Amino acid sequence: MSVLAADGEPLIRWNWIGDHSDELTTLTLHHLKLALLPILFGLIVAIPLGIMCVRWRWLYPPTLGVANVFYGIPSLALFMLFIPYFGIGSGGQADFTIILPLTLFSLSVLVPNVVDGLRSVPEPVRQAATAMGFGTLRRLVQVELPIAVPVIIAGARVAAVASISLVSVGVLIGNGGLGQLFIDGYSRDFTTPIIVSCVLIIVLALFSDGVLVTAQRLLTPWARTRRSNG
């Protein structure tokens, strides 16, 4: 099957979508799993790490330095590093070859945002909480983290969109969710699967973004008019 114009092959063959709906559903769900588990793991690590960086200031510059280095590593290269540990392929343990590198990527966005969010808590608020007898932990959970939520979620939004896009690179080592269709299309000179998977990835990204925006609105009803500064 050769390139369009030459033999009148259209950019998109609509019937292909219907014929492959089962495959598309499976790939989409797997894509979501590969992309969003890293954000969940990232938050689980970034929140305590961010808290520590705020508590012990000296910890932040080296942490930020490491995070920036991760940000500059080509995602494919990072996937490669994990192959020896979790193997190659799709599903099961091999998924961690994709999930863990993406978790590291998400940290490079999430940690600075957790730190910025916690630092955005106005000093008078912190002092008032202490003066009213909040202990360190209670103040953190009930006062500081809620105030930091908009900035943390702003980071999670950036990380989620990037993660959903980056999963597709995993196809080069045999596990890329919807990215699978890039290679299918590319190797057959057939644009439909490439376009369909690109569109699905964009839709997934926008959908996750919408979910996070809604989550933020629900979590911070007091901040609805304030713009987040992430």
Q: Which residues bind another protein (CB under 8 A)?
A: 3-4, 11, 68-69, 71-78, 80-81, 84, 158, 161-162, 164-166, 168-169, 171-173, 179, 182-183, 185-186, 189-191, 194-195, 197-198, 201-202, 205-206, 209
The sign of the dihedral angle between the CA atoms of 19, 22, 25, 29 is negative
Q: Are 118 and 75 in contact (CB under 8 A)?
A: no
Shorter beta-carbon distance to another protein: residue 151 or 201: 201
**Taking the complex as a whole, how short is the minimal distance between the CB of residue 132 and another protein, in angstroms?**
26
Give 219's Cβ-side CA count (13 Å radius). 18
Q: Residues, the chain, total? A: 230
Nearer to another protein (CB atom), residue 165 or residue 220: 165
CB of 75 to another protein, least distance (A): 8
Residue closest to 38 by CA, chosen among 156, 151, 152, 154? 156
Looking at beta carbons only, is 44 or 206 nearer to another protein?
Answer: 206
Max CA pair span of the chain: 77
CB of 47 to another protein, least distance (A): 23
Residue 186 is which amino acid? Answer: Y
Nearer to another protein, 63 or 140 (CB): 63
Question: What's the CA gap between 10 and 173, in Å, rounded?
Answer: 30
Shortest Å distance, C-beta 25 to another protein: 19
Residue type, 212: L
Structure tokens at 172: 């080069």
Between 36 and 140, name the residue whose CB sits nearer to another protein. 36
Give the shortest CB-115-to-another protein separation in angstroms: 15
